[in-house]
Homo-oligomer: A and B are copies of this chain.
Amino acid sequence: MERADAARNRRAILRATEELLETNDLAQVSMDRVAAAAGVGKGTVFHRFGNREGLMRALVEERVRALSDAVASGPPPLGPGAPAASRLAAFFDAVVELATRNVKVMAAFEQASTDRLNNPIYLSWHAHVTSLITSAAPTLDADLIAHLLLGSLHSDLMLHLLRTGETHRLTTGLRSMIETLLR
């Protein structure tokens, strides 16, 4: 069990990081500043989250949990039950929306991450997408196509599209792309 003060600090650090990321440039959000903003010592931040990547991952995991649950056990078409093609479309709708709402946090995690393709979140998304593609169109190289489709969530592109308020193009573009590929 985590001690009460530890839990309190964990929350304070996560909230402080969130806020710094929303109001500052990514490069300005150092671990020192996070600690200062959370009102704790720097050592506490590292003790709690291991390193910068761990902190950012924790933040991402918070925001991603609802989607993971919905995919694993929620109602169709996101959850089990619907045809693979519909589930795939629904998943990308949801994941693009998630990435849109949390670009800053996703970008911070991406930048702090040592191997994007091997972190648990990406791995689970990739496995999900691969399996849906395989069901819907067994002749395709599902593993590769999953990588290419998930590449659209890259923070570079998301930020670029957000700057001009065009994220709906990503949603509709991906939808039609998926439809075309699975036909």
Contacts of A115 in B (CB 8 A): 156
Interface centre among A116, A144, A149 (most CB of B within 10 A): A144
Check B148 against A177 for contact (C-beta < 8 Å). yes
A73–B1 CA distance with the chains assembled, in angstroms: 67
Per-position contact with B for A168-183: 1 when CB-CB < 8 Å, else 0? 0110110001001101
Q: Check if A154 is an interface residue, CB within 8 A of chain B.
A: yes
Give the residue name and chain of the B residue nearest to A144 (CB): B173
Q: Check if A63 is an interface residue, CB within 8 A of chain B.
A: no
Q: Give the interface residue-count category, chain A.
A: 20 to 34
Check B180 against A117 for contact (C-beta < 8 Å). no
* New A-B pairs, 15, CB < 8 Å, besides A117-B156, A147-B152: A116-B156, A117-B157, A141-B173, A144-B169, A144-B173, A145-B173, A145-B177, A147-B157, A148-B151, A148-B152, A148-B177, A151-B151, A177-B181, A180-B180, A180-B183
Q: Check if A160 is an interface residue, CB within 8 A of chain B.
A: yes
Secondary structure call for the A interface: helix
State the number of copies, please. Answer: 2
Check A151 against B157 for contact (C-beta < 8 Å). yes
Give the residue name and chain of the B residue nearest to A147 (CB): B157
Give the residue name and chain of the B residue nearest to A27 (CB): B114
Tell me the chain A residues, 115-153 only, with Cβ under 8 Å from chain B. Answer: 115-117, 141, 144-145, 147-149, 151-152
Give the residue name and chain of the B residue nearest to A155 (CB): B116
A149–B174 CA distance with the chains assembled, in angstroms: 12
Check A117 against B169 for contact (C-beta < 8 Å). no
Give the residue name and chain of the B residue nearest to A110 (CB): B156
Minimum CB–CB distance from A73 to chain B (whole Å) comes to 30
